[in-house]
Amino acid sequence: MIVRHFRICDLPVARDRTVMRQLRIRALPPAADKLGTSFISAVIVVALFWGYQLHQVVTERDYLIRTIAFEASAPDLRQASIVHGYIAGILDDSELLAPLVDHATSAEIKLNSGIDIETRAASWRRLRGVTCIAAIADESCFWFSDENSANRDSEIFQAIRPALATTHGLMAVISTPYARRGATWESFHRDYGPNGDPEILVCAGASRTFNPSLSPRIIARAYQRDPAAAAAEFGGEWRTDITAFLSREAVTACVDRAVIERPARHGVIYHGFVDPSGGSNDSMTLAISHMEGARAVLDAVREVKPPFSPESVTREFCETLAAYRIKRVQGDRYGGLWPTEQFGKYGVKYEPTDKSASQIFLEALPLINAGSCGLLDHRRLIDQLIGLERRTSFGTGRDSVGHAPGAHDDVAVAACGSVLMATAKLPLTKTGFCIGVGPIQYAGDEPHPRSSLHRNKDGDLVLKTWCV
């Protein structure tokens, strides 16, 4: 938790930079063992409001804003509603505070003192133009920190600070530690301890230090399952087993700038990969690639975000596949036989891959790092590739790759899958010949000078030869 020195109800916080070893939360409800940063945020909101009510004359309608994790595309409004419910419950249950509530909505509580308590999504565009007496940011370690993100964590904090300038208000940041990156990690690394900024107080501790009622048995079992994850979730430690999978430099070096899509060309063999979805939660994506010499080239990317009709999207994807003369695609095993049946209606053979998303990313890594593939200038694809995380699995010691919490990798899976299909060795129907990576190479006897390579009606590669 990162806060400025402040007073709540005339109780000063120590200014001597002494590390706070023992912190206690009083009067927790019976279900406190199930509550975390969201409930603490609600308590701070109400405490700040009451302290401000006692000591400040309101000259304009002030705002007490609680910002919450992730950008608008993530389910952050649901999390904001949880904190809003905690705040409303604390006010309603207090005989002293309940009469101060003028009226309340699902995202705002207006008080008859002229103060508004709002819960909002953490968006730098939506936090401007107000005067705040305090801002509480929850789970900021899980906000996007990539410099190309449309809603970067540092930009969110920068948007909040002017709103607190005239009131000298408090900014409190509460979060479970995660990867060692982003604005919250940088502040912790810079200001934790006696040499930090004297205007910033950093408190770090285990869950039972902040909430002694939390069951030791639950924590012990968590450490048995995954020590690294439990150390962050319950021990307050920054994770060392999570690192960025791809560097920004490696990804951008593969991007063909200003090339959004490449049209189909005669005589080129294309490969398609689909990441299907049921249409409720995740996007459904399609990517198409081909080989140019020793370089795999991404030609087209399609993404349909939920909600959508899977049948309609399948039809649209098959129309795109037809434009590139593709009769066979690969994809994951989502939905059992459903993708096979749906694509089959439009004459496209759907083959489930035996590779997981993590395996696809790991196999695509050397291609990207070596610059052996040409990517499209597609913002979602670039962001998803750069946002991938490598994790070391507890017990096996194996690496796995996937998106960060609250993020997505649907476009990246389809793009990497199609690139790998283009580079894979595909058997020909004529015995003794195969197509390899890069320029077409043949095993066995050299083909006759008068020969052609094409797909038959089943999508198989066929080498036709004839005599002059």
> Quick one: 188 and 255 in the same domain?
no
pLDDT at residue 29 in the model: 35
At 83, phi and psi to the nearest 5? -65, -40
> Quick one: 304 and 317 in the same domain?
yes
pLDDT at residue 2 in the model: 38
> Quick one: 445 and 369 in the same domain?
no
Q: Is residue 353 predicted with pLDDT exceeding 90?
A: yes
pLDDT band at 141 (very low <50, low <70, confident <90, very high): confident
pLDDT at residue 396 in the model: 60
pLDDT higher at 142 or 274: 274
Q: Is residue 106 predicted with pLDDT exceeding 60?
A: yes
pLDDT at residue 204 in the model: 85
Task: Give the mean model confidence (pLDDT) for residues 289-308.
Answer: 95
> Quick one: 14 and 142 in the same domain?
yes
Least confident window among 12-16, 74-78, 229-233, 422-426: 12-16
Whole-number percent of the chain with pLDDT over 70? 73
Q: Is residue 322 predicted with pLDDT exceeding 90?
A: yes
Q: Is residue 280 predicted with pLDDT exceeding 60?
A: yes
pLDDT higher at 89 or 373: 373
Highest mean pLDDT among 34-43, 328-337, 350-359: 350-359
Counting the structural domains of the chain, the total is 3
Task: Give the mean model confidence (pLDDT) for residues 198-214.
Answer: 86
Domain-ending residue, one of 138, 171, 204: 204
pLDDT at residue 35 in the model: 47
Q: Is residue 200 predicted with pLDDT exceeding 80?
A: yes
Q: Is residue 420 predicted with pLDDT exceeding 60?
A: yes
Task: Give the mean model confidence (pLDDT) for residues 403-408.
Answer: 82
> Quick one: 286 and 337 in the same domain?
yes
pLDDT higher at 20 or 414: 414
> Quick one: 178 and 278 in the same domain?
no
pLDDT at residue 16 in the model: 37
> Quick one: 147 and 255 in the same domain?
no
pLDDT band at 313 (very low <50, low <70, confident <90, very high): very high
Q: Is residue 446 predicted with pLDDT exceeding 60?
A: no
Q: 331 lies in which domain range?
A: 248-424
pLDDT at residue 253 in the model: 95
In a domain, 237, yes or no: no
Report long-range pairs for 30-35 (Cβ below 8 Å, ≥24 apart).
Answer: 32/211, 32/213, 32/214, 33/211, 33/213, 33/214, 33/215, 33/218, 35/211
> Quick one: 151 and 47 in the same domain?
yes
Task: Give the mean model confidence (pLDDT) for residues 161-173.
Answer: 84
> Quick one: 417 and 451 in the same domain?
no
> Quick one: 33 and 122 in the same domain?
yes
pLDDT at residue 432 in the model: 37
pLDDT higher at 447 or 199: 199
Task: Give the mean model confidence (pLDDT) for residues 278-304.
Answer: 93
In a domain, 364, yes or no: yes
Highest mean pLDDT among 8-22, 115-129, 161-175, 450-464: 161-175
> Quick one: 57 and 146 in the same domain?
yes
pLDDT higher at 158 or 414: 414
pLDDT band at 368 (very low <50, low <70, confident <90, very high): very high
pLDDT tens profile 33-52: 344 677 777 777 677 666 65
Task: Give the mean model confidence (pLDDT) for residues 100-123.
Answer: 82
Task: Give the mean model confidence (pLDDT) for residues 239-245.
Answer: 79
Domain-ending residue, one of 171, 204, 237: 204
pLDDT tens profile 253-265: 999 999 999 999 9
Task: Give the mean model confidence (pLDDT) for residues 332-338.
Answer: 81
> Quick one: 318 and 447 in the same domain?
no
pLDDT at residue 395 in the model: 60
pLDDT band at 450 (very low <50, low <70, confident <90, very high): very low
pLDDT higher at 448 or 414: 414
The count of C-alpha atoms lying within 13 angstroms of the C-alpha of 181, restricted to the half-sphere facing its C-beta, is 16
pLDDT at residue 393 in the model: 67
Mean of per-residue pLDDT scores for the chain: 76
pLDDT at residue 15 in the model: 37
Spatial CA neighbour of 49 closest among 62, 38, 59, 40: 62
pLDDT band at 199 (very low <50, low <70, confident <90, very high): confident
CATH assignment of the domain containing 73: 3.40.50
CATH assignment of the domain containing 322: 3.30.420.240
